Amino acid sequence: MKKFWLVLFVVLVSITGIFAGGQFEKSSAASAQSASERAVEAAKKYSGITLNVFYEAGLQPLDPKKFTGPMWEKLTGIKINVIESPLSEMFTKTIQAHRAGSGAYDVINVVPNQMPDMAQAGAIIPLDDFVEKYGFREELQKIAPVYRDNQMKVNGKIYGFPDDGDALVLYYRKDVFTDPENQTEFKAKHGYDLAPPKTWKQFSEIGQFITDKYAPKMYGAGMLRQPGNAQYMVQERFRVEGGKFFDSETMKATVNSPIGVKVFKEMREENKFMPSGIEQWGFIEAFNALLSGQIAMSISWPPVGRWAAGYGKGTEALNWIPETKVADKIGYALPPGGRPELAVGFSLAVASGSKHKEAAYLFIQWMNSEEISLQRVQLPYALRDPFRTSHFESAEYRSRWSNAGEYLDTLKAGSETGLLDLSLIQTDRYEEGLRQAITRLWAGDDPKTILDDLAAQWDKLTQRIGAEKQKSVYLDWARKPNAYPK
């Protein structure tokens, strides 16, 4: 009998060991599998379908068209059809498709400050259940804090994956700033060292100094002054100086405060040391002027830093970029105040009208994963900027050009201190009012009158939408870590 129990014990131990071992191996394999691999494996059951992916027109769609789309189809058998639209029309088209029940889109690129509006309208779906099912939460935590904590959730639910590290960067001519003669002359005049400006007062003094010495060959600065671009700089600068957009109790607009008037006056005064016609400069004009050596400072989006260094030269999609004359001369810094606007950016979301929601989700998990996103942000043509900690730390990326490390360090700093675009119900209408105000500013109207009119326009919008309803959305935004400087 004793021998019987001994044999039975050995058999049970063996069976249990085999079972446990099998489970261990299965568990280890599952945990070893990356988020991108899990998405690919799960998506294979949808082989043969087509996903419609809604993207901003221009260079952005070259990512899913030329890179991720073909790769995804090869891995899963799922085709990617890219639908393009001008950025200014994407919100309207998304809402129209939702209301019509057309099911036109599966994956949507959402501008983060429009996400609450889209979520409230029911145009995009919460992703939390999919995130849990496919084990993506850990990788989401590795997205840089400013994007993860501010551009992913609405009322505590995940609606999109931050996918584009847009932050405005100050670009400056290192050779001009480090020139011994310039340093001596500038310090004698202003009493401090010539260096990337930390305040807007310094920006103005440095810009005027360089223009006085070098114009018309070179001007102190050239900025994004076209109203559609300049509104982001106004949003940033207004808050850096201490401004608030609304009274949090009454929801009355406070853009016409003394701070707002000061910002408007100073911006118009700065135009005097910039090239003629600066009021109409958009991205292309400022970019070309920087590459040609016409300006010593500019503030713009991250792709400028890559292209100015010559990264992507020879790429067919970038053959429109002029030859850079400043490849080894451009330095990177945060704009004055150190709180760059996270201007526009994109998050990946799933349309509520999609007939293939799970497949759409798996595609965006794969695109957004550490493994695939690191490849995407290094594409010279696709305008996806670093947004994960691993992107900033990547040895591969940091070797792409001589001072790519400095570039990535600056973007990382921006990812910690950047300021969110204002987010409200019908944000686009509030932004349109601000664009009109900037147009009037460049035309010479009185800054206080302009801003009083803007505040009145915003108040009417708020009343039409519903002050309490708008207040709820505004306070949800204002409580985010990077809505206002702390």
Tokens 């690191």 correspond to 374
Which of 78, 84, 129 lies closest to 108 in space, CA to CA?
84
- 308 found inside a domain: no
- 481 found inside a domain: no
8 backbone dihedrals φ, ψ, rounded to 5°: -60, -40
Taking CA atoms, 74 is separated from 77, 155, 280, 366, in Å, by 6, 37, 45, 13
Tokens 């020879």 correspond to 314
- 18 found inside a domain: no
- 72 found inside a domain: yes
Q: Which pLDDT does position 33 carry in this prediction?
A: 84
- Contacts with 446 (C-beta within 8 Å, 6 or more apart), sequence order: none
- Distance between first and last Cα of the chain: 77
The one-letter amino acid at 66:
K
Kindly give the pairing relationship between strand 50-56 and strand 79-85: parallel
Query: ∠ at Cα 226 (224, 230), nearest 5°?
Result: 60
- Contacts with 2 (C-beta within 8 Å, 6 or more apart), sequence order: none
- 53 found inside a domain: yes
d(CA 156, CA 165): 21
The answer to whether the bond into 340 is cis (omega within 30° of 0) is no
Number of structural domains, the chain?
A: 1
Q: Quote the DSSP letter at residue 289.
A: H
Q: Which pLDDT does position 30 carry in this prediction?
A: 42
Q: pLDDT tens digits for the chain (486 residues)? A: 433 343 333 333 333 333 333 332 333 334 458 999 999 999 999 999 999 999 999 999 999 999 999 999 999 999 999 999 998 899 999 999 999 999 999 999 999 999 999 999 999 999 999 999 999 999 999 999 999 988 899 988 999 999 999 999 999 999 999 999 999 999 999 999 999 999 999 999 999 999 999 999 999 999 999 999 999 999 999 999 999 999 999 999 999 999 999 999 999 999 999 999 999 999 999 999 999 999 999 999 999 999 999 999 888 889 888 889 999 999 999 999 999 999 999 999 999 999 999 999 999 999 999 999 999 999 999 889 999 999 999 999 999 999 999 999 999 999 999 999 999 999 999 999 999 999 999 999 999 999 999 999 999 999 999 999 999 999 989 998 899 998
Q: Which pLDDT does position 155 carry in this prediction?
A: 87
- 243 found inside a domain: no
d(CA 109, CA 440): 32
For residue 296, what are its two tokens? 């010593």
For residue 173, what are its two tokens? 């001519």
Give the global pTM: 0.90
- Rg over alpha carbons for the chain, rounded to the nearest Å, is 26
Give Dmax over CA atoms of the chain in angstroms.
105
Q: Quote the DSSP letter at residue 420.
A: P
Tokens 């050009």 correspond to 401
Range of the domain at 365: 37-162+344-385
> If 0-12 CB within 10 Å is exposed, 13-18 middle and 19+ buried, where does residue 283 land?
middle
Beta strand residue intervals within 289-390, DSSP E: 297-300, 330-333, 347-350
- 185 found inside a domain: no
- 268 found inside a domain: no
Q: Which pLDDT does position 25 carry in this prediction?
A: 31
* CATH number of the domain that residue 356 is part of: 3.40.190.10
For residue 437, what are its two tokens? 């105000």
295: three-class secondary structure by DSSP: strand
Q: How many CB atoms lie within 10 A of CB 94?
A: 26
Which of 231, 264, 230 lies closest to 452 in space, CA to CA?
264
Q: Which pLDDT does position 278 carry in this prediction?
A: 97
Q: Is the dihedral angle over the CA atoms 113, 119, 120, 126 positive or is it negative?
A: negative
